[in-house]
């Protein structure tokens, strides 16, 4: 499952970026950070902030759980997205459409192979050979990310009824991603229902029989 972490947008050379959407600034795109043996390598800009955040949190007097640390990084990531959006967005004006835009942007950093319908390995859970199908963010990663951001929104004073991460469009998008990836990868995301142990039926209590008439005193 892919790991989603916070943005780091400082010290980025705009000339080395690839802007995929005119609404996204250049410093939110893939950044070339180095080459190895003549091969250019790209890194996820979501990882640098995680490293700095984890190093700073290790010196923090209060130790947060792994979930809380990840939630804080995700919240900072989305806040960076809002500040770098063109035009800039305030949290109060953020809608489910902006959340979808953010999720689609993250796909370029995915590590999950999603086969197209023209691929001979479509629906094959264990492809025997490589294929040119695109890499995407796994449904489980996106679903967990939205859950953390939804909780963080309300922890920062947002009203549940105005939570953009709980918008119907976001739920439908996640469901569509789940179903399409399940078909493309030949796997099932359905949760297995636990079998409950059978409850023993209580035995009916039989009232005691009255004594026979022969034993009654005359």
* pLDDT one digit per residue (tens) for the chain, 218 residues: 454 444 443 333 333 333 434 344 444 432 223 333 333 334 454 554 445 444 444 444 457 799 999 999 999 999 999 998 888 888 889 999 999 999 998 999 999 999 998 999 998 888 889 999 999 999 999 999 999 999 999 999 999 999 999 999 999 999 999 999 999 888 776 665 566 666 565 665 666 767 766 555 55
Residues in Cβ contact with 124 at an 8 Å cutoff, skipping those fewer than 6 apart: 115, 185, 186
Span 82-126, pLDDT tens digits: 998 888 888 889 999 999 999 998 999 999 999 998 999 998 888
Kindly state the percentage of the chain with pLDDT values over 70: 58
Where are the chain's structural domains? 66-185
Per-residue model confidence (pLDDT) at position 207: 66
pLDDT at residue number 156: 92
User: How confident is the model at residue 31, as a pLDDT?
Assistant: 29
Q: How far is CA 32 from the centre of its chain?
A: 25
pLDDT at 209 (0 to 100): 67
pLDDT of residue 185: 86
pLDDT of the residue at 76: 94
Q: Return the structure tokens found at 214.
A: 């022969």
Q: How far apart are CA 142 and CA 149, in angstroms?
A: 10
Nearest to 166 by CA among 147, 184, 180: 147
In whole angstroms, give the CA distance from residue 163 to residue 29. Answer: 26
List the Cα angle 138/140/142 in 5-degree steps.
75
Q: What is the 3-state secondary structure (H, E, C) of the chain?
A: CCCCCCCCCCCCCHHHECCCCCCCCHHHCCEEEEEECCEEEEECHHHHHHHHHHHHHHCCCCCCCHHHHHHHHHHHHHHHHHHHCCCCCCHHHCCHHHHHHHHHHHHHHCCEECCCCCCCCCCCCCCCCCCCCCEECCHHHHHHHHHHHHHHHHHCCCCHHHCHHHCHHHHHHHHHHHHHHHHHHCCCCCCCCCCCCCCCCCCCCCCCCCCCHHHCCC
The pTM (predicted TM-score) of the whole model is 0.61
- The pLDDT score that the predictor gives to residue 200 is 60
């Amino acid at each position: 499952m892919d790991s989603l972490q916070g943005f780091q947008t400082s010290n980025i050379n705009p000339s080395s970026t690839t802007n995929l959407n005119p609404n996204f600034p250049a410093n939110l795109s893939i950044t070339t950070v180095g080459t190895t043996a003549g091969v250019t390598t790209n890194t996820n800009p979501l990882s640098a902030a995680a490293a700095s955040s984890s190093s700073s949190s290790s010196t923090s007097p209060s130790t947060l759980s792994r979930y809380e640390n990840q939630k804080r990084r995700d919240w900072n990531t989305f806040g960076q997205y809002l500040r770098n959006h063109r035009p800039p967005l305030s949290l109060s004006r953020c809608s489910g459409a902006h959340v979808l835009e953010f999720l689609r942007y993250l796909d370029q950093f995915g590590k999950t192979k999603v086969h197209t319908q023209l691929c001979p390995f479509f629906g094959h859970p264990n492809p025997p050979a490589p294929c040119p199908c695109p890499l995407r963010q796994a449904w489980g990663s996106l679903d967990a990310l939205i859950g953390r951001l939804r909780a963080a929104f309300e922890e920062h004073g947002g009203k549940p009824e105005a939570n953009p991460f709980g918008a119907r469009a976001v739920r439908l998008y996640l469901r569509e991603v789940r179903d399409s990836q399940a078909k493309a990868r030949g796997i099932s995301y359905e949760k297995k229902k636990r079998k409950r142990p059978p409850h023993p039926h209580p035995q009916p209590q039989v009232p005691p029989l009255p004594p026979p008439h022969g034993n009654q005193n005359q």
